[in-house]
C-alpha cells in the first residue's frame, strides 16, 4: 500500500511539474507575442504619421474634390506605392471616414496594372471594424485593429491608421497601413527564437520552485512536527514575495523589449533607470545565514516592513543558533517583531524604524529588537496571558504573543526584558544560554 501511494505521489508530481512548465511557457509565449504585435503596430503608426505629413496636400485636396483616376490620383498612388515598398508592408492607402460605421479606400499605393486598369476602385468599402471607424470619426484619433481577414483579396493583416491634416489643421482623410500576418509571424518567430533561453529558464524556474517546495516541506515536517502553523505562514509569505518579484521581472523585460523594438531607446533607458530602486530592494533582501529557519523568518519580516514603509535594519552573527529548536526560535522572534511592526504602524512613515540584532557568544544567544512607537503602559502586566495594549477586534484573540514568548523561554532558562528607552522607542532583549 505504501509503495502504491509513493508511486501515485511521484506520478502526480511529474504531472504537476509538466503542467506548471506548460503554463509558464504558454504565459511567456503569449506575453512575447502581444509585445511584438504592439511594437510593430506602434512602429507602423509612426511610419503612417510621417507619410501623412509628407503627402502633397495640394495635389491630394484636388483629388478629393473630383475623386477621379486622373493625374493627381496617379501622383498620390505612386507616392503611396513607394512608401509601401520601402516599409515592406502589404498596403499603404488613404481612407475616407465620413460616418461612424464604415470607411472607404480612396487611393491604394500599388503598381499600375495594365491588364486591370480599374483595380482598387475609388470608394471601395474597407474592412476596418466599426469600433476603429467610430474612434476615427467621432474623436479624430489614430487607431490599431486586431488581425483582420479580407476575403476579396485573400489577405490576413493588421491595420493602423492616422489622420491626414490640411493646412488649417482639419482632418481631410486617413492614412492607413496594412501589415501582413506573414510579416508578423516572421518577426514573432525571430523574437521567439531569441527568447527561447528565457522560456527555458521559466521552465527551469518552475522545476526548481516545485523541488524547493518539496524539500522545504520535508525539512519543515522534521523540525516543526505538529506545531506547523507559525512556520508555514512565514514560508507562504516568502514564496508569495518571490513569485511577485519573478512576475514583475518578466513584465519589465517585455516592456523594455517593446521599447527597443520600436526604436524608443531613450524610453527604454529611462524605464531601466526607474527599475534601479526595485533592483536595490531585491539586493537588500539577501540573507545568507547558516540557520535556514531564521533566514526565512527575517526575509519575510523584512519584506513586510518594506511593504509597510518601515525602515528595518538587521544584523546577524555568523552562528547556526542550533541549541534552540527552530520552531521555538521562530515563535519567539516572530511574536516580538510582529509587536514591533504593529507599534511602528501607529507613527507617520518617516518615524517608522525597527532594528533587529541576533548575536551569539560563549554564554548566550542575544536577540535585540528595537522599535519606534508609543511608550509601553505597564511592563509588569504585559507578559500575562490575555493582556494586550492593542485595540480589541471582533473575532481576534489578543494578548497571546508575549505570553507564548515567555513560556517558550522558560524551557531554555532564557529571559526577556522590555524597556522604553526614549519617549518613542522600545527595546526587547532576549537572552538564551548556549549550553
User: What DSSP designation does 349 have?
Assistant: G
Provide the 10 A C-beta neighbour count for residue 351: 13
Predicted local confidence at residue 185, as pLDDT = 77
Please give the share of the chain, as a percent, with pLDDT higher than 90.
37
DSSP string across 344-389: HTTS-GGG-EEEEEEEE-SSEEEEEEEEE-SPPS-TTTTTSTT--S
State whether residue 416 is helix, strand or coil: strand
Cα within 13 Å of Cα(314), Cβ side: 23
- The residues, any chain, with a CB within 8 Å of residue 387's CB and separated by 6 or more, are 381, 399, 403
Joined together, the cell numbers standing for residue 122 give: 475609388
pTM above 0.85, yes or no: no
Whether 334 and 230 have beta carbons less than 8 Å apart is answered as yes
Question: What is the residue-averaged pLDDT of the chain?
Answer: 79
Euclidean distance between CA atoms 218 and 203, whole angstroms = 23
**From CA 374, how far away is CA 423, in angstroms rounded?**
7
Name the DSSP class of 55: S
Residue 142 CB neighbour total at 10 angstroms: 19
The yes-or-no verdict on residue 423 having pLDDT over 50 is yes
Sign of CA dihedral 142, 147, 151, 152: positive
| For range 68-92, the mean pLDDT | 94
Question: In which residue are the cell numbers 529611462 written?
Answer: 270
Angle CA(51)–CA(54)–CA(57) in degrees, nearest 5? Answer: 115
If we measure between CA atoms, which residue out of 136, 109, 130 comes closest to residue 120?
A: 109
CA distances from 55 to 60, 68, 71, 82 (A): 8, 18, 15, 12
Instruction: Output the pLDDT for position 234.
Output: 53
Q: 62 or 256: which carries more pLDDT confidence?
A: 62
Confidence (pLDDT) at 413:
92
CA distance 109 to 116: 15
- In tens, the pLDDT along 135-166 reads 999 999 999 999 888 877 778 899 999 999 99
pLDDT at 404 over 70: yes
pLDDT score for 398? 45
Residue 123 carries which DSSP code? T
Q: Tell me, rounded to whole angstroms, the distance of Cα 303 from its chain centroid.
A: 17
Express each pLDDT in 269-296 by its tens digit.
776 666 555 555 444 444 556 677 788 7
For residues 244 and 240, give the distance between their C-alpha atoms in angstroms, rounded to a whole number: 6
Q: What is the DSSP letter of 412?
A: T
Q: Which three cell numbers stand for residue 223?
A: 523540525
Burial (CB count <10 Å: 0-12, 13-18, 19+), residue 150:
middle
- Sorting pLDDT into bands at 50, 70 and 90, what band is 51? very high
CA nearest neighbour of 341 among 270, 237, 266: 237
**Torsion sign over Cα 66, 69, 74, 80:** positive
The more confidently predicted of residues 55 and 393 is 55
User: Which pLDDT does position 228 carry in this prediction?
Assistant: 46
Q: Which three cell numbers stand for residue 375?
A: 511608550
Q: Does the pLDDT of residue 387 top 70, yes or no? A: no
Count other C-beta atoms under 10 Å from residue 206's C-beta: 20
Render pLDDT for 198-233 as a digit per residue (tens, 0 to 9): 656 666 676 676 677 667 666 555 544 434 455 555
Of 221-225, 320-324, 329-333, where does mean pLDDT reach its minimum?
A: 221-225
R_g of the chain, CA atoms, integer Å: 33
Q: For position 283, what pLDDT does the model report?
A: 47
Closest to 368 in 3D by CA, of 327, 325, 324, 421: 421
340: burial class by Cβ within 10 Å (0-12, 13-18, 19+)? buried
H-type alpha helices, 55-112: 57-66, 71-87
- 434 closest CA partner among 346, 363, 382: 363
Amino acid at each position: 500500500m505504501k509503495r502504491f501511494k509513493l508511486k501515485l505521489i511521484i506520478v502526480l508530481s511529474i504531472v504537476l511539474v509538466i503542467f506548471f512548465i506548460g503554463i509558464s511557457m504558454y504565459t511567456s509565449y503569449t506575453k512575447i507575442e502581444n509585445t511584438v504585435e504592439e511594437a510593430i503596430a506602434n512602429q507602423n503608426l509612426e511610419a503612417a504619421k510621417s507619410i501623412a505629413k509628407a503627402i502633397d496636400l495640394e495635389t491630394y485636396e484636388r483629388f478629393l474634390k473630383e475623386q477621379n483616376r486622373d493625374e493627381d490620383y496617379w501622383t498620390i498612388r505612386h507616392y503611396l506605392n513607394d512608401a509601401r515598398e520601402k516599409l515592406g508592408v502589404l498596403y499603404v492607402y488613404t481612407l475616407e471616414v465620413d460616418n461612424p460605421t464604415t470607411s472607404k479606400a480612396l487611393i491604394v499605393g500599388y503598381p499600375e496594372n495594365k491588364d486591370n486598369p480599374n483595380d482598387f476602385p475609388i470608394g471601395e468599402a474597407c474592412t476596418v471594424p466599426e469600433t476603429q471607424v467610430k474612434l476615427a470619426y467621432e474623436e479624430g484619433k489614430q487607431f490599431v485593429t486586431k488581425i483582420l481577414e479580407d476575403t476579396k483579396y485573400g489577405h490576413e493583416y493588421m491595420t493602423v491608421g492616422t489622420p491626414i491634416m490640411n493646412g488649417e489643421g482639419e482632418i481631410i482623410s486617413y492614412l492607413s497601413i496594412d501589415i501582413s500576418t506573414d510579416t508578423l509571424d516572421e518577426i514573432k518567430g525571430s523574437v521567439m527564437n531569441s527568447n527561447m533561453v528565457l522560456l527555458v529558464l521559466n521552465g527551469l524556474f518552475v522545476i526548481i520552485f516545485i523541488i524547493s517546495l518539496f524539500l522545504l516541506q520535508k525539512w519543515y515536517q522534521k523540525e516543526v512536527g505538529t506545531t506547523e502553523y507559525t512556520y508555514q505562514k512565514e514560508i507562504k509569505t516568502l514564496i508569495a514575495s518571490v513569485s511577485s518579484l519573478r512576475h514583475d521581472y518578466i513584465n519589465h523585460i517585455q516592456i523594455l523589449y517593446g521599447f527597443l523594438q520600436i526604436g524608443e531607446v531613450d524610453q527604454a533607458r529611462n524605464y531601466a533607470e526607474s527599475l534601479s530602486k526595485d533592483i536595490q530592494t531585491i539586493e537588500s533582501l539577501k540573507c545568507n545565514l547558516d540557520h535556514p529557519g531564521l533566514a526565512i523568518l527575517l526575509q519575510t519580516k523584512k519584506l513586510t516592513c518594506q511593504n509597510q514603509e518601515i525602515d528595518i535594519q538587521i544584523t546577524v552573527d555568523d552562528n547556526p543558533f542550533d541549541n534552540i529548536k527552530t520552531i521555538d526560535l521562530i515563535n519567539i522572534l516572530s511574536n516580538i517583531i510582529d509587536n514591533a511592526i504593529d507599534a511602528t504602524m501607529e507613527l507617520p512613515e518617516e518615524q517608522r524604524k525597527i532594528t533587529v540584532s541576533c548575536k551569539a557568544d560563549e554564554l548566550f544567544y542575544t536577540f535585540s529588537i528595537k522599535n519606534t512607537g508609543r511608550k509601553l503602559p505597564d511592563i509588569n502586566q504585559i507578559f500575562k496571558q490575555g493582556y494586550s495594549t492593542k485595540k480589541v477586534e471582533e473575532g481576534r484573540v489578543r494578548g497571546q504573543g508575549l505570553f507564548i514568548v515567555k513560556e517558550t523561554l522558560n524551557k531554555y532558562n532564557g529571559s526577556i526584558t522590555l524597556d522604553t528607552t526614549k519617549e518613542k522607542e522600545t527595546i526587547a532583549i532576549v537572552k538564551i544560554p548556549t549550553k
